[in-house]
Amino acid sequence: PIASCAMPAAEGMVLKTNTEKVKKARKGVMEFLLANHPLDCPVCDQGGECDLQDQSMYYGIDKSRFKENKRYVPEKYMGPLIKTQMTRCIHCTRCIRFATEVAGVPELGAIGRGENMQITTYLEKAMESELSANVIDLCPVGALTSKPYVFEARPWELKKTETIDVMDAVGSNIRVDTYGWEVKRVLPRINEEINEEWISDKTRYACDGLKNQRLDTPYVKINNKLKPSSWDEAFKAVSERISKTKSEKIAGFIGDMTNMETIYAAKDFFEKTIKSENLESRYEKLYINTNVRSNYLFNSSIEGIEKSDLIILIGTNPRFEATILNSRIRKNYLKNKTEIVSLGDVGDLTYPYQVIANKTDTIKDIIDNKHEISEKIKKSKYPSIIFGHSVLKLKSAPYIFEEFKNYLLENDKISDDWNALNILSKNSSAVGSYDLNILSKNSSFEILDKLENNSFEVLILFGQDNLKFEKKNEFIIYIGSHGDKGASIADIILPGAAYTEQDGYFTNLEGKLQKAYKASYPPGEAKEDWQIINELSSFIKRKNLYKDKNQLIDSLINYLNLNNINEAEFKIPEYNFKSEKIITEEIDYYHSNVIARASKTMSECKNIRMSLQKTGTDN
């Protein structure tokens, strides 16, 4: 008998896969695999979803002829995410191949030979890759398991819900496993167009933040102190304040993980109930042209980036802004040796790249055909130009974006077959907000400027915790799930639901509309966000915006369809070139949103990352 993986099929070959000889050989292989494997099944977290258990039941024998002592391998330290029981390891080396080939951080390897072989991180240190925990899914036995999930539950006890990740704008497909109200773990779901079978460590492990720092009852500030109240009391206080304030003095800000139903309900609330146009989805001054939808999308697509033959990064670090996208770029590099260029050194991206001057003058030279990159773009069949938030925040952002777009159009790099222009959004709500036109008119910074100048009297924060402004006399109403930055400055808090506690649509960075399904329910008296807005409208105007959620969704979909037909009227502002340095902003990766900041696991990861930076061994 021959192992099928070791013998290529040839014409005329007769294959027998179920004879007694084959069955005996299979049993022999299973006997070898189990020779040193401990009988840990009752206490192993892999129990119930273990490949070795399944294979052993299907192909193995019920008794072992192995009489020698089984080997013992001491536990290895791999950080706060991965628990090791290396005695269970069967030396398949999947984890090593993943770390080396997919993650691009070769920090796992094998030492020793034969029976003495061991999988290790060599120096017994935490794994640094943002994709490291995928080795848990790859491990066919219980050698590598989830450390935060140890002894939490058995797989058959959990309710499984297929949904969407909101930790970044990629929109990875995930499965949320719950036990009662509590989210126990998050696992990847295969979607070859988006995340393949991988998810980032933040997606997988930030879920423990869903039970920390939660807002579970309304709060009203009395005598400068927040005190619990009933919903009616909170709604009454909001209603009284809004009715006393001129509509132009009221503004709203959309959060970074807000679903499209909530965004659309907020839009209707401002237009119909308050009669105000001051609703903004940006928390910093980003230049976004909403005239055509492709102006704010990742047009090459997540899957399409694999066939790109030239990638230029402008003001972005995809490793931290979109971890899954970064793994696709690495895959492209390994397969095609694609040339990757970055304006400025952004650190280790898990693949080699050429660094050119990080100045806006470089972009001007490219547009004016005075730079070597200009010729490379023209010769390239599938170039991808990726703009990050750091470049869209510059004063010359309108010039850079509009002129670069014109340059690509002139050279036929924007067409129905391929669009080289890409905006890398950081937040899961960003593209959905732009689709719903939640910006100041003509993408100006009018609302953000007024916020800086303290021109508003009432601010409504729809899960927005990233605003940078000095509060003076503003009356702040916060609708959200966690006690974070927004709640700390609020005068009234209305507790909402997290992304796992309500159905909701999200549009990812490439423009795909996906639905996140409810896996749990909000704690205490907290309600779904759209419901809070609907009831608040009823309290103020004595009329609901929608009779139920279905009506809201129908209205939302109709608006999106109509908006796609009639492109938004956008007047491009006058722009001039300005010589500036493009500094790619560093992201607090493990604390980038309210759920991650409330997660103890993410805090541990952040502390380890900071300790590595102190020693100078990071990057």
Tens of pLDDT, residues 428-446: 999 999 999 998 876 789 9
Tokens of 151: 């002894």
| Residue 422: partners with Cβ closer than 8 Å, 6 or more residues away | 297, 298, 299, 300, 384, 385, 386, 387
What element of type H or E holds 225? strand 225-228
CA 558 to CA 564: how far, in whole Å? Answer: 10
pTM of the predicted protein model: 0.92
Query: Residue 35: its pLDDT value, please?
Result: 86
Over residues 527-552, mean pLDDT: 92
More confident of the two residues 256 and 543? 256
Over residues 272-287, mean pLDDT: 92
Residue 390 has pLDDT above 80, yes or no: yes
Over residues 450-478, mean pLDDT: 92
| Residue 108: partners with Cβ closer than 8 Å, 6 or more residues away | 95, 96, 99, 100, 119, 120, 121, 127, 135
Query: Residue 429: its pLDDT value, please?
Result: 94
Confidence at 543, pLDDT banded by 50, 70, 90: confident
Residue 448 has pLDDT above 70, yes or no: yes
Percent of the chain with pLDDT over 70: 97
Confidence at 568, pLDDT banded by 50, 70, 90: low
461: helix, strand or coil: strand
Residue 401 has pLDDT above 80, yes or no: yes
Query: Residue 489: its pLDDT value, please?
Result: 93
Q: Which domains does the chain have, with CATH numbers?
A: 20-147 (3.30.70.20), 214-288+429-564 (3.40.50.740)
Over residues 46-75, mean pLDDT: 87
Query: Residue 371: its pLDDT value, please?
Result: 93
Q: Which amino acid is at 249?
A: K
CA 385 to CA 305: how far, in whole Å? Answer: 10
Query: Residue 99: its pLDDT value, please?
Result: 94
Q: What are the backbone dihedrals phi and psi of residue 73, each rounded to the nearest 5 degrees, phi first?
A: -120, 125
Identify the weakest region by mean pLDDT among 49-63, 449-463, 511-525, 544-558: 49-63
Identify the weakest region by mean pLDDT among 196-210, 319-333, 371-385, 436-450: 436-450
Query: Residue 168: its pLDDT value, please?
Result: 93
Over residues 378-407, mean pLDDT: 94
pLDDT tens profile 312-333: 999 999 999 999 999 999 999 9
Over residues 381-409, mean pLDDT: 94
Query: Residue 614: its pLDDT value, please?
Result: 59
Tokens of 405: 């777009």
pLDDT tens profile 85-119: 999 999 999 999 999 999 999 999 999 988 889 99
Over residues 170-177, mean pLDDT: 96
Over residues 537-548, mean pLDDT: 88
Q: Which ranges constitute the DSSP H helices of 304-384?
A: 318-321, 323-336, 360-367, 372-379
Residue 266 has pLDDT above 90, yes or no: yes
Over residues 131-138, mean pLDDT: 95
250: helix, strand or coil: strand
Query: Residue 238: its pLDDT value, please?
Result: 94
Query: Residue 541: its pLDDT value, please?
Result: 85
- The rounded mean pLDDT for the chain is 91
Q: What is the CA radius of gyration of the chain?
A: 27
Residue 462 has pLDDT above 60, yes or no: yes
Residue 566 has pLDDT above 60, yes or no: no
